[in-house]
């Protein structure tokens, strides 16, 4: 299981997260996200509220493989890869609603993207750039 450190949790929850997706034909897309909550650091579970997702959602529904990095990648140089699932109701939608309420009460989520992080890579410039740090067994 890929475990997120305390600093990784802080970075994912407080910084802009860039969410990269890809269509089934392999056309890439990246979009910044702010309504992000780590559901379970030990299991590498991250939720993002779907407020305005367009190509991002279309891509996730046809290809669940995603990648993330954060705006503070100088201090937290990590590339997270994972598998996304989409929820339009239930506990995850409630969490997305709470997230929006705290950040932007004028927003209402259409759904919640839940990502299970399966790999973490180092992004720090230098000889270890791109190297694998952690992987789901
Ligand atoms: C700073 C910033 C934060 C954003 N946060 C979110 C977010 O938390 N959830 C969301 O659904 N869209 C968010 N958006 C909107 C998406 O980045 C993007 O506009 C939307 O997904 C449509 O683009 P797409 O077609 O690539 O999906 C945010 C945009 C900006 C500029």
pLDDT digits (tens, 9 = 90+) for 3-45: 999 999 999 999 999 999 999 999 999 999 999 999 999 999 9
Taking the CA of residue 19 as reference, the ligand 1 atom at the shortest distance is: 17
Quote the distance between the C-alpha of residue 87 and its chain's center. 14
Contact 59, 22 (CB under 8 A): yes
d(CA 67, CA 27): 14
> In this predicted model, what pLDDT tens digit does every residue of 88-136 receive, in sequence order?
999 999 999 999 999 999 999 999 999 999 999 999 999 999 999 999 9
Coil vs helix vs strand at 55? helix
Identify which of 20, 34, 60 to mutate to test ligand 1's pocket (most ligand atoms within 8 A of the CB): 34
- Return the CATH fold of 6-135: Pnp Oxidase; Chain A (2.30.110)
Q: How many Cα atoms sit within 13 Å of 132 on the Cβ side?
A: 7
- According to the model, what pLDDT value does residue 137 have? 81
DSSP β-bridge partners for residue 68 = 19, 80
| Residue 9 DSSP symbol | H
Helix spans in the chain (H): 6-14, 55-62, 91-103
Domain boundaries along the sequence of the chain = 6-135
pTM of the model: 0.98
Whether 69 shows a pLDDT value over 90: the answer reads: yes
């Amino acid at each position: 299981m890929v475990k997120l450190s305390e600093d990784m949790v802080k970075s994912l929850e407080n910084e802009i997260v860039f969410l990269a997706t890809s269509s089934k034909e392999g056309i890439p897309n990246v979009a910044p996200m702010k309504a992000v909550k780590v559901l379970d650091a030990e299991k590498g579970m991250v939720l993002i509220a779907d407020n305005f997702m367009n190509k991002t959602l279309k891509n996730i529904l046809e290809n669940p493989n995603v990648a993330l990095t954060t705006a503070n990648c100088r201090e937290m140089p990590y590339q997270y890869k994972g598998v996304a699932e989409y929820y339009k109701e239930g506990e995850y939608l409630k969490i997305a609603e709470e997230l929006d309420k705290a950040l932007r009460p004028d927003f209402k989520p259409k759904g919640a993207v839940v990502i299970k992080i399966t790999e973490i890579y180092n992004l720090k410039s230098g000889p270890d750039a791109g190297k694998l740090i952690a992987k789901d067994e």
